[in-house]
Chain A
Amino acid sequence: DAMVIQNPRYQVTQFGKPVTLSCSQTLNHNVMYWYQQKSSQAPKLLFHYYDKDFNNEADTPDNFQSRRPNTSFCFLDIRSPGLGDAAMYLCATSRDRQDLRTDTQYFGPGTRLTVL
């Protein structure tokens, strides 16, 4: 019973060609997160949505955008992918932000992005 679903699992794009990664959840959680994880590195938070409230991390490049059209879906748009954007992109959810520190973050399996 998948709870956080990411599509596709593997995505190949060309340098500069816009790409969209998808995340959906069946948990009805209020908070959805996007992380970037490069090889042998910690996941790096890009941004998160608390309901419709978008929270961008200060060091997230403008090249990365996000949309959350409804509770279940959240998209990561990379407007002009560079070679340095090749990474695993992880989506996560948590029930609430007030209880962020106790509420489990549920992670999806990730989408591995390759930039040619």
Chain B
Amino acid sequence: GEDVEQSLFLSVREGDSSVINCTYTDSSSTYLYWYKQEPGAGLQLLTYIFSNMDMKQDQRLTVLLNKKDKHLSLRIADTQTGDSAIYFCAESINRDDKIIFGKGTRLHILP
């Protein structure tokens, strides 16, 4: 079946790194995504990784993919107050025209 799991909350001190984890179940996933949702706003695509890649880096963001364990992570370096949001992990499946979202991880920044 299709399922994307992620922890619901994460608290990080400003300036530290945040690591948000996600697991998925469908081994035929082709692309995996991280979306950011700020309060009262829609979802913003942060980054995505193709399933044959292990790592992708984009400025402060690093995505790691362990396909064997079906584990995806998003690392945000030097976390800032503006990073406070809900982060959704999502997967697309080769046989289907849709994206499956996790429930989102709420990132809280401590001063």
Residues of A within 8 A of B (CB): 4, 6, 40-43, 45, 48, 55, 57, 90, 92, 97, 100-102, 104-110, 112
List, in ascending order, chain B residues with CB within 8 A of A42's CB: 4, 88, 100-104
Contact status of A109 and B42, CB under 8 A, knowing A42-B104, A101-B30: yes
* Listed A/B pairs (27) with beta-carbon separation below 8 Å: A4-B42, A6-B42, A41-B104, A42-B4, A42-B101, A42-B102, A42-B103, A42-B104, A43-B43, A43-B88, A43-B101, A48-B97, A57-B98, A90-B43, A100-B98, A101-B30, A101-B31, A101-B92, A102-B48, A105-B43, A107-B43, A107-B44, A109-B40, A109-B41, A110-B40, A110-B41, A112-B40
Assembly CA distance A107 to B98 (angstroms): 14
What count of chain B residues pass the 8 Å CB interface test? 23
Task: State whether A105 touches B45 (Cβ < 8 A).
Answer: yes
Which residues 34-64 of B have a CB within 8 angstroms of A? 35, 40-45, 48
- Taking chain B's interface residues, is the majority helix, strand, or loop, or is none over half, making it mixed? strand
Contact status of A102 and B42, CB under 8 A, knowing A42-B101, A42-B102, A55-B97: no
The answer, yes or no, to whether B8 is at the interface (CB within 8 Å) is: yes
List, in ascending order, chain B residues with CB within 8 A of A110's CB: 40-42
Assembly CA distance A10 to B56 (angstroms): 37
Assembly CA distance A102 to B47 (angstroms): 11
Task: State whether B103 touches A40 (Cβ < 8 A).
Answer: yes
Assembly CA distance A39 to B34 (angstroms): 19
Assembly CA distance A4 to B45 (angstroms): 14
List, in ascending order, chain B residues with CB within 8 A of A107's CB: 35, 42-44
Assembly CA distance A97 to B88 (angstroms): 22
**B36 CB → nearest A CB, Å:** 10
Residue-by-residue, is B88-100 near A (CB-CB < 8 Å gives 1, otherwise 0)?
Answer: 1000101001111
